Structure 1
Amino acid sequence: MVSLAPGILLIADPFLKDPNFARTVVLLCEHQDKGSFGFVINKLFDQTLDELVPEVLVPNIPVFFGGPVQMDTIHFVHQQPELIDGGFEIIPGIYWGGRFENVVSLLNEGRLDLSRIKFFIGYSGWSSGQLVNEFNEKSWILSESDTALIFDEKEQNIWQQSLKNLGNNFAIMANFPIDPSLN
Structure 2
Amino acid sequence: MTALAPGVLLIADPFLKDPNFSRTVVLLCEHQEKGSFGFVLNKLFDQHLDELIPEVVITKIPIYVGGPVQMDTIHFVHQQPEVITGGLEISPGVYWGGHFDSVVANINQGKIDLDKIKFFIGYSGWSSGQLDEEMKEKSWIVTPALPTLVFAQDEQQIWQNALKNMGSNFAMMANFPIDPSLN
Per the alignment, in what secondary structure is the counterpart of residue 115 of structure 1?
A: helix
Aligned: 1:20 with 2:20: yes
Number of corresponding residues = 183
Residue in 2 that maps onto 1:157: 157
Match of 1:85 in 2: 85
Higher strand share: 2
Distance in 2, matches of 1:85 and 1:146, equals: 21
Q: Distance in 1 between matches of 2:154 and 2:19?
A: 20
| Corresponding residue for residue 71 of structure 1 | 71
Structure 2 Cα separation of the partners of residues 92 and 152 of structure 1: 16
Q: Deviations over 1:33-77 (max 9, x none)?
A: 000000000111110000111111100000000000000000000
TM-score after normalising by structure 2: 0.99
Q: State the Cα deviation string for residues 3-57 of structure 1 (Å, max 9, x = none).
A: 1000000000000000000000000000000000000001111100001111111
Q: Percent identity?
A: 72
Question: Who is 1:104 aligned against?
Answer: 104
Q: 1:46 is paired with a residue of what secondary structure?
A: strand
1:41 is aligned with what amino acid?
L
Q: Secondary structure at the match of 1:30?
A: strand
> Which portions of structure 1, spanning 4 or more consecutive aligned residues, are displaced by more than 2 angstroms?
none
Residue 92 of structure 1 and its aligned partner are, at CA, apart by 2.2
Superimposed CA distance per residue, residues 83-141 of structure 1 (whole angstroms, 9 cap, x where no aligned partner): 11111111221110011110000011111000110000000000000000001100000
Q: Residue in 2 aligned with 1:39?
A: 39
The letter of the residue matching 1:14 is P
Q: Does 1:139 align with 2:131?
A: no
Partners of 2:76 and 2:130 lie apart in 1 by 24
Counterpart for residue 124 of structure 2: 124
Correspondence for 2:56:
56
Code of the aligned partner of 1:30: E
Aligned residue identity for 1:96: W
Q: Could you say what secondary structure the match of 1:72 adopts?
A: strand
Code of the residue aligned with 1:167 in structure 2: it is G
Q: Per-residue deviation at 1:180? A: 1.1
Question: Which deviates further from its counterpart, 92-101 or 28-37?
Answer: 92-101
The equivalent of 1:181 in structure 2 is 181
Q: How far apart, in 2, do the equivalents of 1:167 and 1:129 lie?
A: 29
In the alignment, the residues of structure 1 paired with residue 165 and residue 136 of structure 2 have an alpha-carbon distance, to the nearest angstrom, of 22
1:115 maps to what in 2? 115
What do you get for the CA RMSD once the two structures are aligned? 0.6
